[in-house]
Structure 1
Amino acid sequence: MSNPQKNILVIRLSAMGDVAMTVPVLHALKEQHPELKISVLTRAFFKPFFRDLIGVEVVIADVKGKHKGVYGLYKLARTLNKKQFYVIADLHNVLRSKILKKFIRCKRFISIDKGRKEKKQLISGKLFEQLKTTHQRYADVFEALGYKIDLNKPKFPKKIELSDKLKKFMGNTELKPIAIAPFAAHEGKMYPIHLMKEVIQELTKDYHVLLFGGGAKEIDVLNEIENTNKNTVNLAGKLSLDEEMDVISNVDVMLSMDSGNAHIAAMLGVKVITIWGVTHPYAGFMPFNQPSDYALLPDREKFPLIPTSVFGNKYPEAYKNVAGTISPKQVVQKIKSII
């Protein structure tokens, strides 16, 4: 039987970017406290994120199936109780995780402080300064449990040797590869697609562009971009998450919105340039270990209410395309400057 004093349950069920942000923190935790046995409770789709973490077990929460509702969480807790967790690190801190913790037999749990008060002040304009990063908020939970983490000297997995299948998908390997993920959950976080097309057209003169996205509408847009540009491959909808991570680990840079793809690339140690719209890095969601100048920001003099929300889901109509104040030339120059 495992030593329950060394057994930690980490809860983070969603969303994609938030789950990806746990990875470098858990990597540091395991590196600096190798005696710990760590189990991560998350959704099945996110399991590949943790593939490089030795000694970290992924436990699947099927919150839309057998673990749905209060009774489903009770059944999940019965399974978890067999593992005898000494402490629980709740990095999600939502109603579902709060209910679950009531059913788990455990001596102690600590929940993340999401900084809601400071974030509310940020979007209301009462303050405009860098708040604690989400990565540090995760680390604070473990410190409260007695396991201090230093995030300043990160280690990342090695580039994955690509399979023949992925090499075939990628195509031209003579040019340096760039990954571009032009979409986000909310329109206010996106770079206008007509400007992104200008960026891609310019980049394909010197680089091999790999496009990422998901959903039928996004795939249609990316197919059109692929068909009208040389040295461009749309990978959306063609690969598993594991395979997408393999490809991303081999690119020279990822260009992304404030979205999950940025955090996936960052956890793999890839350089990430982000384009920001109505959200702002000050809220704490800058990709891990990226210099502040890798974040391209809209003109706040013209749009002083930025950030209008933490997640990009609320903004005045006039702010929908604020990212468009960043010129395609700025984007291209930034990419070229770091490759």
Structure 2
Amino acid sequence: MTVEELSKLKKILIIRLSSLGDILLTTPFVRTIKMQFPNIKIDMLIREEYADVIKFNPYLNNKLFFKKNDQDYNRLIEQLRDSRYELVIDLQNNLRSKKVASSLNIKTVKFDKRSFDKFLLVNFKINKLKQAPPIPIRYSSTINDLKLDKEGLDLFTDKSASTIILDKKNLIGFCPGARHFTKRWPEEYFIELGNIIIYNGYSLALFGGKIDKEICARLSREIPGIIDLSNEDDLLQTAADMKLCEAVVCNDSGLMHVASAVKTNVIAIFGSSVKEFGFAPYNCNNLILENNFLNCRPCSHIGRSSCPKKHFDCMNLTNATMVFENLKTILKLR
């Protein structure tokens, strides 16, 4: 599909069912299409639990939500067929998204996941991704010669910042959670860093969703003065609060991309994953901390429940003092 061919279309469907970060990484692509071709109607299909990611996105005409039960699925397919799309852009490219796209029986272009290249890097440390562009640019390559703007990610919210942080100066955010263990910097390091930050006169806020509840509770108990803003997955409130942060310290997680989207400074700590996969903070002021000298990295492209080498050096060798020094550096760059 070329830009010229795209320009002749009236209505398209973009599919990216999950997850939080991956959907946020589609937003430069969506925005660019709408800005260059304002007459094209763009609908997007995502899983229902991520609805807030696109809820207020002005570049989308209709937001559609995938539900798991058969009755809702059949109703969804009928709705999509009735919409008479001229093109499907499948940015998920898995069995589920392929099933949806094939049910519509129209032209479909698919995101190249480069699965074999990821397999080579994880299992044999053969790096064919060294020059690979970040994921938003790879999404855009589904349309030949489409050039993204430089504006970064979009996350639109209708929420105001929590009153508890409105008068806080030099506010730093912590996002200690991640879906997989090997992508989480040890919580005792977060505790040590938190106490250093408080001692040096900064305010500190804690962010996390439902799956981060326990780790956030422990950090809240161990760091005197920290403001616990973790919540039951109120993404739009989290985004509004993050905007007030001077910087956010996070793992390679969905909230890292939220921090990128609200244009705060980002300190991202990478353990088992590497930036060559394309999921680094996008078009924002950021520093990535990773131990590139370890020949066991990456051990997975999504994360693991434990370190296969038992030492967890990819995270353990990044200490709190190192992170604080990088935090001071990025604050000077602001």
Shorter-chain TM-score tier: 0.7 to 0.9
- Whether 1:223 and 2:223 are equivalent positions in the alignment is no
- Distance in 1 of aligned mates of 2:56 and 2:19: 20
Among residues 208, 214, 220, which one is paired with 2:209 in the alignment?
214
Are the counterparts in 1 of residues 183 and 273 from structure 2 also a CA contact under 8 Å? yes
- Whether 1:264 and 2:258 are equivalent positions in the alignment is yes
Corresponding residue number in structure 2 for 1:75: 75
SS in 2 for 1:213: coil
- Distance in 2 of aligned mates of 1:50 and 1:214: 18
Q: CA deviation at 1:319?
A: 4.6
Corresponding residue number in structure 1 for 2:231: 237
Relative to structure 2, which stretch is displaced further, 307-316 or 89-98? Answer: 307-316
1:297 is aligned with what amino acid?
E
SS in 1 for 2:64: strand
- Distance in 2 of aligned mates of 1:247 and 1:311: 28
SS in 2 for 1:204: helix
Are the counterparts in 1 of residues 24 and 153 from structure 2 also a CA contact under 8 Å? no
Unaligned runs of 5+ in 2: 1-6
Among residues 50, 66, 83, which one is paired with 1:61 in the alignment?
66
SS in 2 for 1:317: coil
Please list the CA deviations of residues 119-175 of structure 1 after superposition, one character each: whole Å capped at 9, or x if unmatched: 12222212272433211111111x24xx71324354867897725xx213x3x7232
Corresponding residue number in structure 1 for 2:48: 44
Are the counterparts in 1 of residues 252 and 268 from structure 2 also a CA contact under 8 Å? yes
- Whether 1:318 and 2:310 are equivalent positions in the alignment is yes
Please list the CA deviations of residues 38-83 of structure 1 after superposition, one character each: whole Å capped at 9, or x if unmatched: 111012232222245314121111125744xxxx3x4321111121
Among residues 12, 17, 32, which one is paired with 1:28 in the alignment?
32
- Distance in 2 of aligned mates of 1:27 and 1:211: 30
What is the RMSD of the two structures over their aligned residues, measured on CA atoms?
2.6
Count of equivalent residues: 320
SS in 1 for 2:25: helix
- Distance in 2 of aligned mates of 1:215 and 1:161: 19
- Distance in 1 of aligned mates of 2:17 and 2:245: 28
Q: CA deviation at 1:229?
A: 2.6
- Whether 1:167 and 2:163 are equivalent positions in the alignment is yes
The 5-angstrom pairing of residues 1-339 of structure 1 reads: 5-56=9-60, 57-64=62-69, 66-67=71-72, 72=73, 74-106=74-106, 108-123=107-122, 124-127=124-127, 129-141=130-142, 143-144=143-144, 148-154=146-152, 162=160, 166-168=162-164, 170=165, 173-205=167-199, 206-215=201-210, 218-237=212-231, 240-290=234-284, 294-298=287-291, 300-301=292-293, 303-313=294-304, 315-339=307-331
Are the counterparts in 2 of residues 159 and 249 from structure 1 also a CA contact under 8 Å? no
Q: CA deviation at 1:112?
A: 0.5
- Distance in 2 of aligned mates of 1:121 and 1:94: 20
Q: CA deviation at 1:194?
A: 0.9
- Distance in 2 of aligned mates of 1:193 and 1:228: 10
Please list the CA deviations of residues 198-222 of structure 1 after superposition, one character each: whole Å capped at 9, or x if unmatched: 1111112322211122346x42332
- Distance in 2 of aligned mates of 1:279 and 1:266: 18
Q: CA deviation at 1:264?
A: 1.5
- Distance in 1 of aligned mates of 2:93 and 2:262: 26
- Distance in 2 of aligned mates of 1:225 and 1:98: 42
Are the counterparts in 1 of residues 171 and 205 from structure 2 also a CA contact under 8 Å? yes
Q: CA deviation at 1:114?
A: 0.5
SS in 1 for 2:108: strand
The 1:27/1:231 distance shift into structure 2, 3 A limit, reads farther
TM-score norm. by structure 1 comes to 0.85
Q: CA deviation at 1:252?
A: 1.9
- Distance in 2 of aligned mates of 1:264 and 1:8: 26
Are the counterparts in 1 of residues 191 and 222 from structure 2 also a CA contact under 8 Å? no
The 1:94/1:159 distance shift into structure 2, 3 A limit, reads closer
Are the counterparts in 2 of residues 30 and 36 from structure 1 also a CA contact under 8 Å? yes
SS in 1 for 2:141: helix
Are the counterparts in 1 of residues 177 and 215 from structure 2 also a CA contact under 8 Å? no
- Distance in 2 of aligned mates of 1:133 and 1:6: 28
Are the counterparts in 1 of residues 172 and 205 from structure 2 also a CA contact under 8 Å? yes
- Distance in 2 of aligned mates of 1:54 and 1:116: 32
